[in-house]
Structure 1
């Protein structure tokens, strides 16, 4: 019989146990071992059946057990200790407060922002709050946790999806099946934001046709960081509007547009409501994690318009305090909407009535060669609304600069204003308690915890003193735990696939805790190449079944529900893993998520990653394995391209030349993968010396922990965001009051109007040592005196910067490794209105060398370089041949 209504009955905790509620409602428990251990003692069996979720656990504990615990002095002492520790964590002075500086006067303001709002379409904080699909969400969750550890006053903003992403199972023949269980917020570790009178706080958006989209605001406590999640499943909405936040990355184009409007526009309104109701400082910086949240900039423009700023001035004020992070290495991965669809949802009869629709549409226009004029590009809008942008690894930064170079015509891709901050992972979440315990025995618990959350290479160096035997025993113990976990999950999967108990005896022999274990787990788009390992199945079987150096592989991953090609890859892998000849050596585990990952990463000796280079923006799964002593076997892509060293892993050679077709490329790279495993990875794992231990392998584990450990931390990543992006954005934001923003917008308009008249008229260069002898060669160490005559139209010299750009030149005369040298005004205007600029150019490099000159807009309130996307370069008749051969 089915219930006609569902609701949650909350337990009434005895007074001595009231701190349990606070501990359960703050998601710090998800990375704090002592808190999880405390809840486990409440009801060990219930803890397992609830999946390690304290909120669900407290909803199932009997009243008798609660009464018993309320009288248990030992338990109450533990509870008081853990509760006090949380209080210290939430209110203590941390890295951010110690390094922000500033005094009590406005002139001595802290260099860090008062607060930062961080918007993302998904957040992977814990399996108990399933609001993520993959790496983007896990990264966002780790960003919040690291910000909390460092004391960064961050506010997370996302959506609450009533069905999450999806749960994955397999049919009997290995086809992926999706399930969408309904999530009741009252059973999640979240609380409803309420007005002072107790009614739920609400944000509303106007929709075409006089409709409205309303949303409640749920708050999750991620340590010190509040995570606001908007939920459209409220009674005031019609059926279509209630379903806007039904599932992550689901629905058609309009459905996605409404999600992204609610995230961006509604998210800013939710932040304002939260700050009003809690006295939290208002954000000075808004961080857009991928283009999905880009509409937040439009809402902030609307807010400023209400204070009298016109669109262009408001745009300048918004840009100054906005950071945009792109995670997408290919144009196909960007959300793009039909322009007419976007236009219909904005303007006088819909949302943001004070913001001109044509201005909105211009922000998303693909104004570059090959751009689609009828599409609205969310990433393009994100870049135009942010003064600071970044990719998520050095390689991805370069890929992004190339991909978006068309937005800055006239500039080399290296000068496109997109920097990079390489991702990191939140070590307290991903490091196995046994690994933390080993470190604690070496340097003490508090120092080990600091090493994981804040960093410090001196603490990580202590790994060098841990005996080989302890490291090897730890690795075997983690591998053994993984074997147990895999067998349990595999048995459950086969039961779902329809197998009876009598068919499953073979599962007790799946995997071996003494066999080299390789892990591969991720989403299943084609570029990640789930089935590259199956390219030569006979060769793979030989590796799996080798008589003295066998290999075993654990695979997991989800294909998007609408991606049938991805589902075919899953089925292909599953069918191979079902083969009775190898099923004890290779397994596919369905329903990959955070709970599985936290067992998988520590238990694998090697983490495999074989994407198509350079399509992996960062790829943080290998970082999580490394923090547990796992070695990486990966294509040089994402973070591995940046930090690979032979001391702690292997690089899979790539065949990514333009002349190599797709099939041939996969064949070559698969062969290279097999060769590495057979000839390098497996021999090193099984090569035991006189001590009976594989000393060279253990040394690689040690080097992984000491060298990679401090680099891959989310704490390092968030510190970089604060110092390199948030702090400058806060300073820029403070510099742009209403009058200054209006002044800057007027200056930009004037520069754009006048720029067609700006030109390099003539360039001449003399060797200062021998003015009459300048030729095609020059001596190293000599100096050229450059004189450049320029036309500025109605602009003045203070409106521009004239630069010499010099460096090595290739066979096409393109300047490589360029350096810029500003030239100074030296006179003018002449009778023709021309100005003279001059300056020295030192010849510091030998070999083919060249220079050019250019004119850029310059203003004290904008970053130097390509910010406006305007540049004037010499014509062929402007001056002498710039090429010089240095000797």
Structure 2
């Protein structure tokens, strides 16, 4: 069995002596380790990097997905085709630990591998897999794919993460002071702890929770009966679970349960904290919900040469380096799409998870104005899209392919596949404008715009998520005016699309071509304003100050 010294490889700073186990279904740590899908993983990965830089006493718990999330490929017509390819990692260390989790009242063997801190510069992370010879086929496939579409498999995944993760920590003789659930996936952890301590109050002393989204898909719910059949509650009878958590009805909501098991919870921006409190405040027994705004690790994301130029205020060096970074991005565009983009042309990028509320195709909602914008030869514009829809979400895949089809013959528009850490970085460094146009109050935080600003890409955004805490319109970003809250959704979309196109036509494009000195001033101010407020070191320190080291006596 590995010793603590072999697991951590560094001495914790005394300021961060509180031992924290950070449970997350996904971690985006390095391009070589494909255990993530999108924003939740990007956030968790940056948290682990900053924990390492600050020498915090933290260990991550996650899943080793045999096929990752999925790989984006193209079919014979060039449209998106999800592909599932088995992954292998030579750099993970076998801990020698295998535990048994009861799923459907049958034993499932769970093996733990370690990502050592020195491998990618993170706090240590334990990755759990059921893809081992001791298991039958069904048990083997629990850790096959991140966010499997089968309901029973998804439930089993949460059990392996929460229960299996806690059991592995016990087997390694690691007893955390705090168990941190990053989203509600690990909620079975609490039933394991309840059986260990036989007290809801004792569980609450040890558990904190981060909720990341108001979206239904991120607030998972299943029938009590099915969960009981799957041994989700361990040895605790359903009536006792209902009474303990004051839950009525047939559905067990992961987020609601997590809020009742935790001593404190947080939303991931000031706006999201307010939204989360309104969402859940009518439920008895929930903990306090504060706000800790998400952040990203600058050391990982920044381009060193560009960062130095921005720091020194060297405009010529900024322009020169941005052209080099655009050249790097445009080689990918040429390779994937057969289109030759130009480094001196304003380049806008929309890149993030593809789902309805993020409105990937929003820029082209008024097709005539979009075409007029794109086809202007005096002030040309280049547009790039990238992102991953959920592989079983036909509507989002159709939206992705719709965009591909509409711009296929436009020489200055491209849709890229393979949106993971590396491509995300290249897009942020090579873009001039980072477009973010979700429906209001739906983007809990969003972090891609933070790393874009660190790399000389100016945000053009709805004032949602983290953006209102940062944005000064026309000084460090460009804002899209949101429509009134009480309007029908279709009218909101129409007004906000008009605002987006007006900002581009009347402000962004003229400024880039006619007053590039002012453009560079906005670029530099954005890079200055985004750090340290939205750098992950601030976030990692706040979690210790406001969550982990806060009073362990839960509020009544």
Map 1:287-326 to 2 at 5 A: 287-304=180-197, 311=198, 314-326=199-211
Q: C-alpha distance in 2, partners of 1:173/1:663?
A: 32
Q: 2:114 — aligned with what?
A: 219
User: Which residue of structure 2 aligns with residue 145 of structure 1?
Assistant: 49
Counterparts of 1:634 and 1:190 in 2: how far apart (Å)? 39
Tell me whether 1:536 sits opposite 2:366 in the alignment: yes
Aligned to 1:759: none
- State the alpha-carbon separation in 2 of the partners of residues 631 and 619 from structure 1: 15
Of 335, 343, 351, the match for 1:521:
351
Please give the alpha-carbon distance, in whole angstroms, between the structure 2 residues aligned to 1:630 and 1:396. 25
Question: Whose Rg is larger?
Answer: 1
Q: Once the two structures are superposed, what CA deviation does each residue of 1:450-502 show, in whole Å capped at 9, x if it has no partner?
A: xxxxxxxxxxxxx2x42222222222222222112322233xxxxxxxxxxxx
| CA distance in structure 1 between the aligned counterparts of 2:111 and 2:367, rounded to whole angstroms | 52
Show the counterpart of 2:92: 190
- Find the residue that maps to 1:228 and give its secondary structure: strand
- Which blocks of at least 5 consecutive residues in structure 1 are unaligned? 1-86, 101-111, 195-200, 305-310, 368-372, 410-414, 440-462, 491-506, 689-693, 733-860, 869-887
Deviation (angstroms), 1:175: 4.0
Q: CA contact under 8 A between 2:264 and 2:287: conserved in structure 1? A: no
Matched, 1:651 2:547: no
State yes or no: 1:359 paired with 2:244. no
Q: Once superposed, what is the RMSD of the aligned Cα atoms?
A: 2.1
Cα separation, partners in 2 of 1:292 and 1:326, compared to 1, 3 Å: same
1:380 aligns with 2:256: yes
CA contact (8 A) 1:366 1:380 kept: no
C-alpha separation in 1, matches of 2:252 and 2:341? 50
Structure 1 residue 113 displacement after superposition: 4.3
Counterpart contact for 1:230–1:267, Cα < 8 Å = yes
CA contact (8 A) 1:113 1:285 kept: no
1:715 and 2:541 correspond: no
1:252 to 150, 156, 165: 150
1:816-862 alpha-carbon deviations (Å, 9 max, x no partner) = xxxxxxxxxxxxxxxxxxxxxxxxxxxxxxxxxxxxxxxxxxxxx44
Specify which of 513, 529, 535 is matched with residue 686 of structure 1. Answer: 513
Distance 1:221 1:345, change over 3 A: same
Give the structure, 1 or 2, with the largest relative contact order (CA under 8 Å, sep 6 or more).
2
Match 2:461 to one of 615, 634, 639: 634
Q: 2 CA distance for matches of 1:665 and 1:334? A: 25
Matched, 1:705 2:533: no
1:300 CA drift (Å) = 1.4
- C-alpha separation in 1, matches of 2:393 and 2:429: 30
> 2:180 and 2:327 mapped to 1: Cα distance?
42
How far off its partner does 1:577 sit?
Answer: 1.6
Q: Name structure 2 gaps, 5 residues minimum.
A: 1-5
| Cα contact 2:227–2:233 (8 A) shared by 1 | no
Contact 1:176 1:567 survives alignment (8 Å): yes
Residue 177 of structure 1 corresponds to: 81
Report 1:324-723 matches (<5 A): 324-346=209-231, 352-353=234-235, 355-362=236-243, 373-408=249-284, 417-438=288-309, 463=311, 465-490=312-337, 507=338, 509-579=339-409, 582=410, 584-646=411-473, 647-658=475-486, 660-688=487-515, 694-723=516-545
Aligned partners of 1:157 and 1:600: how far apart in 2? 29
User: Could you say which residue in structure 2 is the equivalent of 1:52?
Assistant: none
User: How far does the alpha carbon of each residue in 1:384-429 deviate from its partner, in whole angstroms, 9 at most, with x for none?
Assistant: 11010000000000010011112149xxxxx972111000001122
Change (3 A) 1:555 1:238: same
Q: Distance in 2 between matches of 1:331 and 1:156?
A: 26
- Distance in 1, matches of 2:78 and 2:395, equals 14
Q: 1:366 to 1:402 in 2, by over 3 A?
A: farther
| Cα displacement (A) at 1:92 | 7.0
Q: 3-state SS of the aligned residue for 1:229?
A: strand
**CA contact 1:432–1:598 (8 Å) conserved in 2:** no
Question: Is the contact made by 2:191 and 2:233 (CA closer than 8 Å) also made in structure 1?
Answer: no
Q: Against the structure 1 CA distance between its residues 593 and 717, is the aligned structure 2 distance closer, same or farther, given a 3 Å change threshold?
A: same
Post-superposition offset of 1:661: 2.2
2:124 match: secondary structure: strand
TM-score, length-normalised on structure 1?
0.59
Cα contact 1:245–1:259 (8 A) shared by 2: yes
Contact 1:601 1:628 in 2 (8 A): yes
**Contact 2:93 2:113 survives alignment (8 Å):** yes
> Matches of 1:668 and 1:290 in 2, distance apart?
33
Contact 2:18 2:549 in 1 (8 A): no
1:678 CA displacement: 0.9
Asked if structure 2 preserves the Cα contact closer than 8 Å seen for 1:405 and 1:416, the reply is no
Residue 595 of structure 1 and its aligned partner are, at CA, apart by: 1.6
Structure 1 residues 92 and 685: CA distance shift in structure 2, 3 A: farther
Q: Aligned partners of 2:344, 2:383: CA distance in 1, in Å?
A: 13
Contact (CA 8 Å) 1:116, 1:283: kept in 2 or not? yes
Q: Distance in 2 between matches of 1:365 and 1:547?
A: 64
Give the TM-score normalised by structure 2. Answer: 0.94
Q: Is the partner of 1:130 in helix, strand or coil?
A: coil
State the aligned residue count: 546
- Counterpart in 2 of 1:768? none
Counterpart in 2 of 1:273? 171
- The verdict on how the C-alpha distance between 1:331 and 1:679 changes in structure 2, with shifts beyond 3 A counting, is same
The answer to whether the 8 A contact 1:206-1:351 is kept is: no
Matches within 5 A, 1:68-83: none
Report if the CA contact (8 A) 1:175-1:567 is conserved. no
Judge conservation of contact 1:401–1:416 (CA < 8 Å) in 2: no
Answer whether contact 2:387 2:419 (CA < 8 A) is retained: yes
- Secondary structure of the structure 2 residue equivalent to 1:638: coil
SS of 2:145's equivalent?
A: coil
Q: Is the 8 A contact 1:90 1:224 kept in 2?
A: no
